[in-house]
Every structure is written in C-alpha cells, then in structure tokens.
Amino acid sequence: MQNPIAPLLDSANRIILGKQHQIRLALCCLLARGHLLIEDIPGVGKTTLAHTLAKLLGLNYQRIQFTSDILPSDIIGASIFDPEDRSFKFHPGPIFNQMILADEINRSTPKAQSALLEAMEEQQVTVEGKTYRLPSPFFVIATQNPAHQIGTFPLPESQLDRFLMRIELGYPDRNAERELLSGQSRYHLIENLKTELPPEPLKNIQQQVNTVHVSSALLDYMQNIITFTREFPDYPCGLSPRAGLSLLNAAKAWAFMDSRDAVLPEDVQAVLPAVAGHRLRSASQDSAAVVAPILERVNVL
C-alpha cells in the first residue's frame, strides 16, 4: 500500500520540532475522521500544530478563541434581519470551515462548549428549524488548559468522549529547543509551506482507511481490552461502544500510515493511550499511566 502522507509528515516535523509522535497521532486522528483534544500549558505549540496541518492539507482554517462570554451564536452563526428583503438571513459562523482551532475550550461556559461539540458530532448545525451541513472534510482541534489553572470549566466525561484522541505536546528536548531558539519564526515558516495533500485526495484516503482489514483475532483482542476497562476497579467507567469504534478506526488509520492493509495488535497499542486515556483517567494521571494496566494484563491472542 503506497503511503501518500510521508511528505506531509516530513514537512510538519520541520515546523513542530521534536514532536514526531504527537504529529503522527494528530494525522491519524484526522484520517480516522475524528476530532483532537490537546491539553497542555500555554506556549508549547498547540496553535502552531493546528495552523501547520491546515496549511499542509490546504484546508480552510479558522481559530475560535473561547472566552467566558462567548455565545453559541458566535460559533455557529445567527439569523439577522435584512430590512431590504424584510426577512431574516442566516449568517454562518466560524464553525463553517474545514479545520477549526477551538482555542482554550475550557475557558468558555458549558453552553458554548455544547454548541461546538454538537456540531462536531452531527457534522451539521440547526438554526431556527433549518439544518446547515458543515464542510467536508471537517476537523476540530480543541485546546484545553490544565484544570488547575484559573478560570476553567472542565469538560464533562460525556463531552470528552466526543474527541477521538487527546494528546499532550509537552516541552521540547534540549536539541529541539536550541534549534527553535536559533532558527526562523515558526509563523514565517508556516506561511511558506505548500499544500502536500489537498482536500479531495484527503477524503479519498479517509475512505481507504475504512477498507483496512481487521481479523477476527484482532477484534477479540480489542473486545478483551474493552471488557477489561469495564471490570478493572481502578477505572470509574469503562470504554463505551463509541470509544471501541474510535479505537478501531484509529488503529486502521495507524496501520494505513505504516503502509499496511491490515491492523496488527501493535497498531491498537500505539493509539490506545491517546484514544482511551481521557476516557479512563483520573485528574492526576497522564494517558500512558492510565492505560498501562491494560497493556500489562490483556494478552495478545
């Protein structure tokens, strides 16, 4: 299977230094038709990652800054009276773009959060009884500040479950930070990027990901993982059926990115922390620590 996204990964890694695994997970999430949550402190490159991917994929990009006073109409749009036609006309909001950066989503109220998350789930918005389809492909990257920071409204578990993956970027290593400090501005480099994978080929790849083969033995392994999360006493709530589907789709995308036409247990293990960590974790644990009991106790068949 030819891998058409290797040039895209190479270009992204030249912008976001030392974060190859996180970039790969972000692309995997996109190929699996999911949405991505990045939880980290300010200033580690969350916005830069979203802008880089939008540029490389040739997607219409819009950043929405979530604040405590943002309204649902600021996100999805509103009907405004036109005095000339003496009628109301719908003015689309920033959600009507192919890639959305929902910046600091947990700084907004639950009502505003729900407006975005419902649009993510349904791929459409309804205003005054009329439904408007969102563009395709449609990908949301939401950033979230750590819960201990002032002025945050934590996303409830039901809303977290709508994100296929959650990742952290973290601080760069010493070599990457030295290159960052001595090199050009990241924003200047982003402006000079060329599109590596336009929207139409991207949609074709998303369809190809669905055709990646999954054996019965692999499905047994996945079901054992899901069952373990529901029975393990350290997890307040196990993985839902939607989480199981998310894990399957992410594993298919990971296999595709490795130029394979079938999913291996290693693909499931590679995406498990990002897919399951935010669904199972306690506030004091990172995703890798949360899924460690699964990887240790659920055997590959």
> Could you read off the pLDDT of 245-261 as tens digits, one per residue?
999 999 999 999 999 99
Query: Are 116 and 102 spatial neighbours (Cβ–Cβ below 8 Å)?
Result: yes
Burial of residue 43 (number of CB atoms within 10 Å: 0-12, 13-18, 19+)? exposed
> What is the CATH T-level fold of the domain 5-202, as seen in this structure?
Rossmann fold (3.40.50)
Separation of alpha carbons 290 and 286, rounded Å = 6
DSSP characters for 59-91?
--EEEEE--TT--HHHHHEEEEEETTTTEEEEE
Query: Cβ(30)–Cβ(72) under 8 Å?
Result: no
The residue extents of the domains of the chain are 5-202, 211-297
155 secondary structure, DSSP code: P
CATH fold label, 211-297: Helicase, Ruva Protein; domain 3 (1.10.8)
* Cα torsion angle, 242, 243, 246, 252, sign: negative
* Alpha-carbon distances, residue 21 vs 10, 125, 185, 220, 233 (angstroms): 12, 33, 22, 27, 30
pTM of the full structure = 0.91
* Residues 53 and 99: beta-carbon distance below 8 Å: yes
Higher pLDDT, 3 or 192: 192
Helix (H, G, I), strand (E, B) or coil at 250: helix
Query: Which of 47-56, 64-73, 105-114, 212-221 has the lowest average pLDDT?
Result: 105-114
Q: What is the mean pLDDT of residues 151-166?
A: 82
pLDDT in tens, 21-46: 999 999 999 999 999 999 888 888 89
